[in-house]
Amino acid sequence: MFSSRINKLQNTFGKNGIDAFFISNFYSILYLTGFKTLTNDEREAFVLVTKKNTYLFTDARYVFTNPGIILKLIEPGKGLFFHLEEILKEEQIQNIGIESEDLRVHEYEKLKTLFSSIKTISLERAMIKIRAVKEDSELANIQKACEITDQCLKEIIPTLVERDTEKGIAFRIEKWIKEHGHDLAFDPIVAIDEHSAIPHYNTKEGNGIIKNNSIILLDFGVKYNNYLSDITRMVFLHPTKEMIDTYSKLLEVQKKTIGIIGKEKDPRIIDSICRAGLKEKQLPDFPHSLGHGVGLEIHEYPKLSQMFDDSLIENHVVTVEPGVYFPDRWGMRIEDTVVVKNNGAEILTNFTKEPIIL
């Protein structure tokens, strides 16, 4: 598995004019080698893929064995750059690709200063484009993460009652997921009433409570074998007719949008069709993108947005999450995780989208 992924990266060397790729992103390292450090942001591991070899640089606090990968221990007096110098000389490397969306400027400057004869080539998206096209085993993990999410919703929604707090519900979701041996994909968003109109609502800092005519937005996901799911569903308590009408229209647009994914592969066109669908129903536009890639990271390549100019490819996994927001009143969003196929899309989150009324 790892060697075929490394091959995929090596196959891009020719067109990118490089003879090695320096990998710094936590998730890219996990993808290529199966290795991960304790946290995703401490810069404790790096990888160099050359035409012949793959090297992992990390320190002795970690234990790692993978026969296809050469481990270079970072120790006092023998740091990352010491090892790099040896390898660059030995393999006569001239041009190194870097993950420019991940590498820090101070790391880059050190690389440039120490290896002034070597050319670094910024290859934004090169690595994440490879990661975006999911293999069968990755799809199976994402599918499983989605199934666990569906089951969690099924068990948590019937427990919602008047006077429940946003924080309390978010914590029950978290507890359910962890008590079942899994992990969160991200901190759950539970947004009640006027908070549901804030697309980036921070539940941890809020104080919403279910009242006897509340609208409740639940947006969360599960991590299973490092892979993530993402879903949003709405729950109502004595909803107004306006809420249910709006929900039905939004749902119709969301389903129609999923229906064109895969047949249509340009994210800008998909995004436009979705927004036009809302407009046609006299609903306001939403101030966020239509969706995002999901995999090892919760927001990864590709993006369904007007700003995104690459095409969708079979086995990309994306969310589809249009919303309707009436500031200071209420809002709603319906979100599924789907796999792009050549002539359509498969929905992985299968929890009901009929209006859920408590």
Q: Using CB under 8 A as the criterion, which residues of the chain lie in contact with its own copies when the complex forms?
A: 37-42, 59-63, 76, 98, 100-106, 108-109, 122, 124, 167, 171, 174-175, 178-179, 181, 183, 186, 198-200, 202, 204, 287-288, 299, 306-307
Which residue, 47 or 356, is less far from its own copies as judged by CB? 47
For residue 17, what are the contacts with CB-CB under 8 A and spacing of at least 6?
95, 121
Which residue, 190 or 356, is less far from its own copies as judged by CB? 190
CB of 62 vs its own copies, minimal distance in Å: 6
SS3 215: strand
As beta bridge partners, residue 345 has 340
Which residue, 136 or 179, is less far from its own copies as judged by CB? 179
CB of 40 vs its own copies, minimal distance in Å: 8
CB of 14 vs its own copies, minimal distance in Å: 22
Which residue, 51 or 178, is less far from its own copies as judged by CB? 178
Which residue, 17 or 259, is less far from its own copies as judged by CB? 17
CB of 98 vs its own copies, minimal distance in Å: 6
Buried b (16+ CB within 10 A) or exposed e, 71-105: ebebeeeeebbebbeebbeebebeebbbbeebbee
CB of 262 vs its own copies, minimal distance in Å: 26
Among 63, 10, 75, which residue's Cα sits nearest to residue 34? 63
CB of 354 vs its own copies, minimal distance in Å: 28
CB of 124 vs its own copies, minimal distance in Å: 5
Which residue, 186 or 351, is less far from its own copies as judged by CB? 186
Longest Cα pair distance anywhere in the chain, in angstroms?
72
Peptide bond into 302 cis (omega under 30): yes
In the sheet with 183-184, reading across from the earlier edge strand, the strands are 183-184, 222-224, 227-228
CB of 45 vs its own copies, minimal distance in Å: 11
Which residue, 15 or 38, is less far from its own copies as judged by CB? 38
The answer to whether 302 touches 334, Cβ cutoff 8 Å, is no
CB atoms within 10 A of CB 158: 10
SS3 98: strand
Q: How far apart are the first and last CA of the chain?
A: 46
Buried b (16+ CB within 10 A) or exposed e, 195-215: bbbbbebebeebebebeeebb
Residue 7 DSSP one-character state:
H
Which residue, 52 or 175, is less far from its own copies as judged by CB? 175
CB of 244 vs its own copies, minimal distance in Å: 26
The answer to whether 195 touches 208, Cβ cutoff 8 Å, is yes
Among 41, 39, 43, which residue's Cα sits nearest to residue 58? 43
Which residue, 200 or 241, is less far from its own copies as judged by CB? 200
**What whole-number distance in Å separates Cα of residue 125 and Cα of residue 111?**
20
